Amino acid sequence: MAIIRRALSDTERLDWLRLIRTENVGPVTFFRLLQQCGSAGAALQRLPEMARRGGRVNQLRVPSKADIEREIAANTRLGARLLAACEPEYPEALAAIDDAPPIVSVLGNVHLLRKRAVALVGARNASLNGRRFTLQLARELADAGLVVVSGMARGIDTSAHEGALAGGTVAVLAGGVDIVYPEENEQLYRRLKAEGAIIAECVVGTQPQARHFPRRNRLISGLSLGVVVVEAAQKSGSLITARFALEQGREVFAVPGSPLDPRCQGPNALIRQGATLVESAADITQALAHLTRPLMAERAQDDLFDGPAPAAMVGQPDSDELLRAHALIVESLGPTPVPVDELIRGCHLSPAIVHTVVLELELAGRVERRPGNQVNLI
C-alpha cells in the first residue's frame, strides 16, 4: 500500500476518522480499503455496495460527519494531537507493523514518538525488588538516549515510567487518551502529559475494557525496538506483548527471577525460548546497538510511504469473477483461522480477487481478521 508521507487536510482527516470508526473496519481493513478505493472518501462511498456484495442485509453503521467533528473537538479541548499514519510525526516504528492504527491521539511531547524506544512491561502485583530494578533499568535506558514505553498499569509499568520521566517515556493507554487507569496513577498521568507523552488508539472518553488491552499491547511493542519483561505470570498480558514483539520482528528481553516466585515464571520461560537475559541496561543497549529501526520497517516503508499507488491497485475486479470467487472462498473458510496467502493458493485465484472478497465478507460481518494475516468465518 503506497501512502505518501504528508499532512492530511481537514477534510481528509475527517474521512480517515469516519472510515476507521465504521463498523467492521479495523486497521488492516482500513488500509485495504484505501488501497482498493484510492482514498478514505472514496471508500466511504463504496462501503454500502461492498458490504451488500459480502452478504450484509442491514445497513453498515458509519459515523456521521457531526460525530467525527465532535471527536476532533474533544481532542482539541484536551490539547491532544490526532496523528494519521501517513503524517511525518507518526512514529515510524509503529507504522511498520501490519495492523498499525490509522489514527492515534497523542498528549504531551509528540517528538518522543519518533525516537528509538524500548518497552518495559511486567506484573501489576510486582515485588518490591522487581519495581526497584525496573526503576533503575528505566533510568539507565533513558540516560542512554532510549525512550521507555509502557502501559501505565500499576506495578512494573508505573516504575518504568517513573524511572524514565527525566529522559523520556511514553504511556500507551487501553482506553481514551483522557482516561486515567488505574485511578491511583492520576499524578503519574499528569507528569506524563507534561514531561513525557501519552498515546491511545480509542476514541476520547472510551473506558478501558478487557478486549482493549491486547490491542494496547500490540502498540507497546510496535512503538519499540524491543520489549523487556521484568516479572510476569505464565498467562499474562506481558507475555502477550512479548508475543506481539516476536510477530513484529522486535527483540525480546527478560529479567530472570526465582523459580519459586510465580511472577518470574514468564520471564524465565522466555529466556529458555531464546529471549536475551537482562541483568543491566547494558545487556539491552548492546543488543540494540546495530538496530536503527525495527526489522520490519524497511518492508513497511516501501509498502506504505513510497510513491503513489499503482493504478492497477485502484478499482474493482470483474463482477462475474467476484461472484464465482465469493462462493469458492466461503466454502474454503471455516471457524479455524487460515492465512490469506494459503487461501489464494488453495482457491487458485488472484490476490486481487481474494483480497477484495475477504474485504467484502469482513464488511458484511461474516469474516473475522486475525493476527498474522489470517481470516476465519464468524
- CATH 1.10.10.10 domain extents, the chain: 317-377
Mean pLDDT, residues 160-169 taken together: 97
Could you report the per-residue pLDDT of 318-331, keeping only the tens digit for each? 677 788 888 899 99
Residue 82 has pLDDT above 70, yes or no: yes
DSSP letter at 365 equals T
> What pLDDT does residue 323 have?
82
For residue 55 the three cell numbers come to: 452478504
* CATH 3.40.50.450 is right for the domain spanning 105-299: yes
Residue 42 has pLDDT above 80, yes or no: yes
Count of residues in the chain:
378
Instruction: Compute how many other C-beta atoms are within 10 angstroms of the C-beta atom of residue 172.
Output: 28
* Of 236, 108, 111, the residue nearest 173 (C-alpha): 108
Q: Are 176 and 199 in contact (CB under 8 A)?
A: no
Average pLDDT over the chain, rounded to an integer? 91
> Reduced to 3 states, what is the DSSP secondary structure of residue 317?
coil
- Interstrand relation of 169-173 and 197-200 (parallel, antiparallel or unpaired): parallel
pTM: 0.90
Q: Give the pLDDT band of residue 373 (cuts 50, 70, 90).
A: confident
Residue 39 has pLDDT above 90, yes or no: yes
Mean pLDDT, residues 262-279 taken together: 97
Task: Verify cis geometry, omega within 30 degrees of 0, for the bond prior to 308.
Answer: no
- pLDDT above 70 covers what percent of the chain? 92
Lowest mean pLDDT among 130-139, 271-280, 297-306: 297-306
Within the chain, strands assigned E span 81-84, 103-108, 117-121, 147-150, 169-173, 197-200, 226-229, 251-254, 276-277, 338-339, 367-370, 374-377
- pLDDT above 90 covers what percent of the chain? 83
* CATH 3.40.30.10 is right for the domain spanning 317-377: no
Q: Give the pLDDT band of residue 127 (cuts 50, 70, 90).
A: very high
> What pLDDT does residue 317 have?
62
* Of 259, 213, 265, 256, the residue nearest 234 (C-alpha): 265
CA distance 324 to 347: 11
Greater pLDDT, 172 or 235: 172
- Interstrand relation of 374-377 and 338-339 (parallel, antiparallel or unpaired): antiparallel
- CATH 3.40.50.450 domain extents, the chain: 105-299
Lowest mean pLDDT among 18-32, 89-103, 297-311, 327-341: 297-311
> What pLDDT does residue 294 have?
53
Mean pLDDT, residues 245-259 taken together: 96
